[in-house]
Structure formats: C-alpha cells, structure tokens
Amino acid sequence: MAPRVLVSDKLSETAVQIFRDRGVEVDFQPDLGKDKDKLLEVIGQYDGLAIRSATKVTEKIIEAATNLKVIGRAGIGVDNVDIPAASKKGIIVMNTPFGNSITTAEHAIALMFAVARQLPAADASTQAGKWEKNRFMGVEITGKTLGVIGCGNIGSIVATRGVGLKMRVVAFDPFLSAERAAELGIEKVELDDLFKRADFITLHTPMTDKTRGIINAEAIAKMKDGVRIINCARGGLVVEADLAEGIKSGKVAGAGVDVFETEPAKDSVLFGLDNVVCTPHLGASTTEAQENVALQVAEQMSDYLIRGAVTNAINMPSITAEEAPKLTPFVKLADILGSFAGQATENAIKKVEITYDGHVAGMNTRALTSAVLAGLIRSQVADVNMVSAPIMVKERGIQLTESRRDKSGIFDGYIMLSVTTEKQTRSVAGTCFSDGKPRFIQIKGIGLEAEVGENMIYCTNDDTPGVIGFLGNTLGEAGVNIANFQLGRSAKGGDAIALLYVDGPVSDEILAKVQASDKINTAKYLKFAVAAE
Ligand SMILES: NC(=O)C1=CN([C@@H]2O[C@H](COP(=O)(O)OP(=O)(O)OC[C@H]3O[C@@H](n4cnc5c(N)ncnc54)[C@H](O)[C@@H]3O)[C@@H](O)[C@H]2O)C=CC1
Ligand SMILES: O=C(O)C(=O)COP(=O)(O)O
C-alpha cells in the first residue's frame, strides 16, 4: 500500500505533485494544521506529515499519530514540533535547512532599511496626503556597525550583505570559528561587546533554552542609545515587553519584528509603537523560497517513505539514497548483533562498546550505531527504532563508546559489539558477505560462522563429547528441525558455544529440557527479525 502523507500547512502545491510522482498518496489540506482538534482526529491515518510553522505538532498529536513515520518541515525552525516526543515514538523529524535562508536574510535586510528610513509610516502618511517631509528623518547604514547574533546559514548571509552595504559587521556565535569570521570579512565578538558596539542588531539563532529572551531589559541597557533591533528568527528570543519599554523610553530607536512570542500575533505590546515595523512571519515568504522548501521536503519525505533514505533529519543520522543499498544489509546486521546481546542479557546494561573494523569503519557508522542500539533495546521495549533507541540508551544512563579500526582479521570488515552488565561482558561480532546476508562470526571471542535465522538456540557448554548428539536428539524428539548447526570453542576441551538455527519457535518446555542437561551450561532461545528461508 502506498504511504500516505498529510500536508497540513500552506506549502507550495509543487509538493503535492512530487509526492504523487514518487508514489506517495497525499492529502493537501493547507488549513488543517491550525485546527488542532481536527488534526488530532485524523493524524492516525498518515505515515507522513508535511508542515510549516502554523501546525503545532504537540506531544498529544504525536501520541495520536499511531502510523506516523516522518514529519517534514518545509522550512528551518522546528520549534513547533515536540522533537523529544517524536523521537521517543521513533518518528523522524526533518527540515530543509537551506531552502529559505537567502529569502529570510533578505527580509532581515529589508526590515533594517524599513526601520532606518521609517518606510511603513512614511508610506502611510504620504498616502494619507500629509507630505510630512520633516517627520521622517532617517539614518544612513553605510559605516554603521551591524551586530549579528547567531552566525549560521542565515546570519552569515546577512553578515555578508551587511559587508556589501559597507557596514562594519560584528558577530556573536559560540560556534563561529575565527577562520570563518575572517572568510566572511566580519569580526567575532562576545555578546556584551556586540551590545556595546552595534547600531543595528539582528537575531539569527534558533530558539533554545539558552537563546530564549536573549534580548531582555538587561541586554537592552547594555546597548548603544538609539540602537535598532531586527528579529527575523523567533519571537521568544526577545522579551517583547522589555523591547516595548526600550522603544518607549527612546533607548531603542526602532525595531523590525517578523516573529512574535505568540503567533499568529493578533495583539502585541509592540503594536502601535513609534518606528516598530511588523510583518506577519514573512521571512520565508517568497515564491522562490517556497518552491525550494516544498520541493525539498516532498523529495526528502518520499525518499524516506519509499526508499529508506534519510536526509536532513534532526533526530536521526542521514542515510543517502546512494548509500542506502550498500548500508542496508549492515544496518540489518547491526540490529541483529544488538538483538543478540539484548536477548542474551538478563541484567541491566551498563556499557556498550561498538567496534567498526575494516571497510565497515568507512561506512555511515552513526546509522549503524543507532541500529545496534535499536536491536539491543528491543528485548526490553518492543516499539523502538533507530530514532528512539539512542535516546532510550541515554535515558538509561548506558555508557556508549564507538571505535573504528583498520582491517584486523580474515574478514574485510565487521562489527563487534561488547555489552557490559553488573555481572559480565558479552561480545558478539558479525559481518555481511557479498550475498548481503548477515553472519555471526564471533561470540564471546570464539570464532564461528553462523547464518542468522528467525529462530535460534544459543548454548554455552564445555568442549566435551556428546553435545551435538544430545542437542540433535532432544530437538529431534520434540519435532524441532535444525536448519543449521554451528559450533565453536576457545581451545580443545575449553569453553564452547553452539548456535542452532531451527525451523520454528522453541517452546519453554523444550528449552527447559536443553537447559536441564549437564552437558549444557546455558541455553537461550533467540528470535530475530529476519524472514525464515
Ligand atoms: N522568519 C522566518 O520566516 C524564518 C526564520 N528562521 C529562523 O532563523 C533562525 C536561524 O536559522 P539558520 O541560520 O538557518 O540556522 P543555523 O542553525 O544555520 O544557524 C543558527 C546559528 O545560531 C548559533 N547559535 C546557537 N545558539 C546560540 C547562542 N546561544 N548565541 C549565539 N548564537 C547561537 C549557532 O551556532 C548557529 O551558527 C532559526 O531560528 C529559524 O527558525 C528561518 C527561516 C525563516
Ligand atoms: O523556516 C522557518 O524557520 C520559518 O520560520 C519559516 O516559517 P514559515 O514556513 O513561513 O511558516
């Protein structure tokens, strides 16, 4: 059945065509996102949800989204999506990080000019027939200092436009390197320094707990008298009441505000104040940007729903459509190794170590690690996937280490997983051959070469005669057919393991018979998510 996507915001209809061309069924209901009760009612039917900023994807919506696999944001900010809730439920959240950045940067520049020359008020006055030439004295931009807070994609475009306008540009961004600042022709400064020096301040950070209210009364007090502030990022970055006070007192000479603490902003403390220029979250609203983001989000979501390729996901490593065919068998293998360790382990896991050897080390190991963790956690929580597993591992306080190394054995490459509980450390390694099928190649440091089946029995024993006969007889008498039987031992007469791939489920009763034998130290029935041959 074709996956179904709901478009619940005003996306360009380009998206609809792309979904259809790619074999995705699509419901285009651009106003539905604003009606949260309706969204709650219908969301359970969809595999994908495509949104802009008007749809609020709350925890409640996510709870009701029983089939949802992907939320696609046609734009940048995902603060309207409860990402922790989506991740816990295994829903990928993706955005289009570049599609509207030029457009938004241009809007910031447009607002800067509008504020510098009081354009909207001058326009209204002129059209009212007042001709108030003396009322609208502006300021020149050339030679002024532009302070950019947040110098990522949009901030750096604004910065270079500022340089082009002959402004002196200073930027505060903890992640901006000195080299990048030099490349942009700007100066990297501390926040207080920016406040002290800037004639215009423009905000371009995401909305996080750190950036919330970054422009408040205290910050405004540190600024130059007559500063002008532009916000095209998120409303919550500015304490609106404090900005309104700053404007009223004359400390702040003007503000360009595209985004509000509460949207849609039908009322605001900023409305009606002198030289405050407001737009209704128009930063991304150009034909070009909307085409870009609609096309991108529809392609990304279709690629995921149809081909399993992951691009621009906030909560999951990327898997390109090109690497997906090569990576998929190893993702399966990684899940199986995790699943083996998860099922074999009865005690709380303290530490997980994953080693990527040989050519596997050159693969997308972030995706592989997520798959190992999903397999590992699945024995405790059935509803887990590559998105939610890393979060669950973190929540459980499990220590995770990953390492990569050059080819170290007879295989071209493999994955080794080692899991430590309070009682012991278990290790298992596996690889995929050219047939794409996963194989166990080492358990507890003992080499073997075992196919992976849907139903398996894993035994540890001492290397003594009669084990094969005993297992064969016991399972045979119980009517359990053995498809494949692999043995391994540390040394002659030493620790040994047996891994049996059987043709059907193994009951507790049969397993108890195996466990009861003095030839067997431990026996476990393991189930893997692979189709029976
Ligand atoms: N008004 C509108 O319609 C639009 C608004 N936006 C908003 O613009 C903002 C920026 O978008 P991009 O540049 O694409 O994001 P980005 O992720 O490329 O850049 C954000 C930058 O902020 C920096 N940053 C993070 N925390 C910081 C802090 N505490 N102080 C200073 N810098 C900090 C990061 O290091 C990063 O360089 C987002 O909030 C986004 O939602 C984006 C598109 C349209
Ligand atoms: O991309 C972003 O972060 C934006 O804020 C644009 O929002 P919009 O898609 O215009 O509702």
Classified as helix, coil or strand, 79 is coil
Q: Whose CA is nearest to atom 7 of ligand 2?
A: 53
Please tell me the predicted confidence (pLDDT) of residue 531: 55
Angle in degrees, CA 173, 175, 181, rounded to 5: 70
Nearest to 257 by CA among 275, 249, 266, 78: 275
Q: Which CATH superfamily is domain 454-533 in?
A: ACT domain (3.30.70.260)
What CATH number was assigned to the domain covering residues 317-443? 3.30.1330.90
Q: Residue with structure tokens 């034909």?
A: 287
End-to-end CA distance of the chain: 24
Q: Whose CA is nearest to atom 5 of ligand 2?
A: 77
In the chain, what are the domain boundaries? 4-99+288-316, 101-278, 317-443, 454-533
Ligand nearest to the CA of 95: 2
Nearest to 379 by CA among 369, 389, 387: 389
Per-residue pLDDT tens, the chain, 533 aa: give them.
899 999 999 999 999 999 999 999 999 999 999 999 999 999 999 999 999 999 999 999 999 999 999 999 999 999 999 998 998 888 999 999 999 999 999 999 999 999 999 999 999 999 999 999 999 999 999 999 999 999 999 999 999 999 999 999 999 998 888 889 999 999 999 999 999 999 999 999 998 888 999 999 999 999 999 999 999 999 999 999 999 999 999 999 999 999 999 999 999 999 999 999 999 999 999 999 999 999 999 999 999 999 888 899 988 888 888 888 889 899 999 999 999 999 998 888 999 999 999 999 999 999 999 999 999 998 777 778 888 899 889 888 899 999 999 998 889 999 999 999 988 899 999 999 888 889 999 999 999 999 999 999 999 998 989 999 999 999 999 999 999 999 999 889 889 999 999 999 999 999 999 999 999 999 999 999 775 55
Please tell me the pTM assigned to this model.
0.81
State the ipTM, two decimals. Answer: 0.99
Question: How many angstroms separate the CA atoms of 530 and 415, rounded?
Answer: 18
Tokens for 143?
Answer: 């030679």
SS (H, E, C) 120-153: HHHHHHHHCCCCCCCCCCCCCCCCCEEEEECCCH
Tokens for 410?
Answer: 């007879």
How many helices (H) and strands (E) in the chain? 17, 22
What CATH number was assigned to the domain covering residues 101-278? 3.40.50.720
Q: What is the pairing mode between strands 413-421 and 425-432? A: antiparallel
Q: Which CATH superfamily is domain 4-99+288-316 in?
A: NAD(P)-binding Rossmann-like Domain (3.40.50.720)
- 154 close to ligand 1 (CB < 6 Angstrom): yes
C-alpha distances in Å from residue 294, one per residue of 12, 77, 196, 470, 531? 6, 15, 40, 63, 37
Choosing from 53, 81, 93, 282 the residue with most ligand 2 atoms within 8 A of its CB, the one to mutate for a pocket test is 53
Collect all residues with Cβ–Cβ distance below 8 Å to 496 and sequence separation of at least 6. Answer: 446, 460, 461, 462, 463, 467, 487, 488, 489, 490
Same fold, 101-278 and 317-443: no
Please tell me the predicted confidence (pLDDT) of residue 88: 85
Q: Residue 16: count other Cβ atoms within 10 Å of its Cβ.
A: 19
Please tell me the predicted confidence (pLDDT) of residue 169: 98
- 373 close to ligand 1 (CB < 6 Angstrom): no
Residues listed for the chain:
533
- 213 close to ligand 1 (CB < 6 Angstrom): no
Cα of 42 vs its chain's centroid, Å: 24
Please tell me the predicted confidence (pLDDT) of residue 175: 84
